[in-house]
């Protein structure tokens, strides 16, 4: 994050950010402040759209939601790791070029030596001279073998170094796209995958569905059993949803207690059926605390389903799924609503 605002401008952003945070009862800590500074400054349009969606739909922006927004839209990837990897790769390339240049020179010298010995061999039939030439060939070959062995060892060491760097980069990429609490994709990964899926669906004419899921009355769980149990419920919810989808589908934590599933090559009817399957699985589960055995109660999901209509924008697609989710909430919770008809446990299924 690079900021170059003047003292006057940054002071104004401070006032505006604190006003929003106070109105929403958001704790004022550096991470939360960074989210709202970015929002009021208007420098981060993706973040601004998400927050405005929360505000327009009167969805609570809790401390946990703020942390998710920070990780998805404000936090930068681990630049120190990336810089170290870049530097190491430059060093490895330079080292290999040096070894290859040295070996190339030795190969050239070896070839010249063999050509010279071959010429001498063609000019003599003296056994003593021939033996001398053979010994010379053996000597030159041993030297070349030693050099080749050094290159082979260097190549093996380089391969190991590159594998370490590859794992470092993979870790940075994974952390940048994974929700820390649940282990499923975060909002950043969701946005990227949804955009890719929309492009593919538009180009190939295949269906694409989006499912938004929200844990009903989750605040009651937190209030009654505490945030540790609440976190456990969120983690279990993520895993249960993930267990129901196919390998090419993406499950993401959309924010707070809300989850999303991107379903490529899935019709509206198919998405409704999957959503009802997930809803029923939650309704049937007996939730108990592992530490005390205390019965937590029935935890249900309200679910909204929408299917992509090319060439609409992602925001419009998400908004239709969100409106379906809102109808599911308004019509009694613990139900699935599609884009049109209302009522029943699984609308259109």
The model's pLDDT over 54-85, given as tens digits with 9 standing for 90+, comes to: 888 778 888 888 888 887 887 765 556 666 66
Residues 324, 211 contacting (CB under 8 angstroms): no
- SS3 sequence, 213-240? EEECCHHHHHHHHCHHHHHHHHHHHHHH
Residues 251, 295 contacting (CB under 8 angstroms): no
Residues 211, 321 contacting (CB under 8 angstroms): yes
Question: What is the structure's pLDDT at 234?
Answer: 94
Q: What are phi and psi of 296, to 5 degrees?
A: -80, -30
The model's pLDDT over 237-291, given as tens digits with 9 standing for 90+, comes to: 999 999 999 889 999 999 889 999 999 999 999 999 999 999 999 999 989 888 8
The Cα-based distances of 135 to 73, 127, 143, 218 in angstroms read: 70, 12, 12, 85
Q: Determine which helix (DSSP H) or strand (DSSP E) holds 287, and give its type and residue range.
A: strand 287-288
Which residue in this structure is represented by tokens 């009651």? 220
Query: Which residue ranges in the chain fall short of pLDDT 70?
Result: 1-7, 76-86, 88-90, 92-94, 96-97, 99-111, 113-114, 117, 121, 125-127, 129-131, 133-134, 137, 140-141, 144-145, 147-148, 150-155, 158-159, 162, 169, 173, 340-349
Which residue in this structure is represented by tokens 């290159």? 151
Whether 257 sits among the annotated catalytic residues: the reply is yes
How far apart CA 117 and CA 185 sit, in angstroms, is: 66
Residues 294, 288 contacting (CB under 8 angstroms): yes
Q: Kindly name the residue from 38, 257, 276, 347 that is annotated as catalytic.
A: 257
Question: What is the structure's pLDDT at 183?
Answer: 92
Q: Is the dihedral of CA 169, 174, 180, 181 positive or negative?
A: negative
How far apart CA 207 and CA 165 sit, in angstroms, is: 39
Counting other chains too, the contacts that 99-107 makes at CB distance below 8 Å and 24 or more residues apart are 99/150, 99/151, 99/154, 100/151, 102/147, 103/147, 103/148, 103/150, 103/151, 106/143, 106/144, 106/147, 107/144
Residues 6 or more apart whose CB falls under 8 angstroms from that of 147 comprise 102, 103, 106
Question: What is the structure's pLDDT at 349?
Answer: 41
Task: Sheet containing 250-255: give its strands across.
Answer: 250-255, 258-264, 208-215, 301-307, 336-337
Question: What are 303's strand-pairing partners?
Answer: 213, 336
Residue 74: both structure tokens together: 């404000």
Question: What is the structure's pLDDT at 188?
Answer: 87
């Amino acid at each position: 994050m690079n900021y170059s605002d003047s003292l006057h401008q940054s002071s104004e952003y401070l006032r505006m950010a604190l006003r929003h945070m106070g109105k929403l009862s958001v704790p004022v800590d550096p991470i939360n402040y960074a989210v709202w500074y970015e929002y009021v400054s208007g420098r981060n349009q993706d973040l601004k759209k998400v927050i405005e969606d929360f505000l327009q739909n009167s969805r609570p922006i809790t401390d946990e939601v703020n942390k998710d927004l920070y990780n998805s839209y404000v936090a930068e990837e681990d630049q120190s790791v990336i810089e170290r990897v870049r530097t190491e790769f430059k060093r490895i390339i330079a080292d290999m070029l040096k070894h290859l240049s040295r070996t190339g020179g030795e190969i050239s010298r070896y070839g010249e030596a063999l050509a010279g010995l071959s010429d001498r061999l063609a000019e003599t039939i003296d056994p003593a001279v021939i033996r001398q030439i053979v010994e010379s060939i053996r000597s030159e070959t041993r030297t070349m073998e030693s050099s080749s062995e050094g290159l082979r060892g260097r190549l093996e060491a380089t391969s190991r170094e590159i594998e370490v760097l590859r794992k470092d980069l993979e870790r940075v990429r994974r952390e940048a796209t994974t929700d820390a609490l649940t282990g499923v994709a975060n909002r950043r990964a969701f946005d990227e995958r949804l955009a890719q899926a929309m492009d593919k669906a538009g180009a190939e004419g295949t269906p694409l569905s989006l499912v938004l899921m929200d844990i009903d009355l989750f605040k009651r769980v937190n209030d009654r059993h505490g945030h540790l149990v609440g976190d456990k419920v969120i983690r279990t919810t993520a895993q249960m949803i993930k267990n129901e989808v196919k390998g090419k589908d993406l499950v993401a934590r959309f924010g707070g207690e809300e989850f999303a599933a991107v379903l490529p090559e899935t019709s509206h009817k198919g998405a409704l059926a999957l959503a009802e399957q997930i809803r029923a699985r939650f309704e049937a589960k007996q939730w108990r605390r592992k530490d005390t055995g205390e019965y937590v109660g029935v935890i249900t999901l309200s679910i909204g389903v929408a299917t992509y209509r090319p060439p609409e924008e992602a925001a419009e697609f998400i908004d239709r799924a969100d409106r379906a989710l809102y109808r599911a909430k308004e019509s009694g919770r613990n139900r699935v609503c599609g884009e049109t008809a209302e009522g029943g446990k699984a609308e259109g299924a």
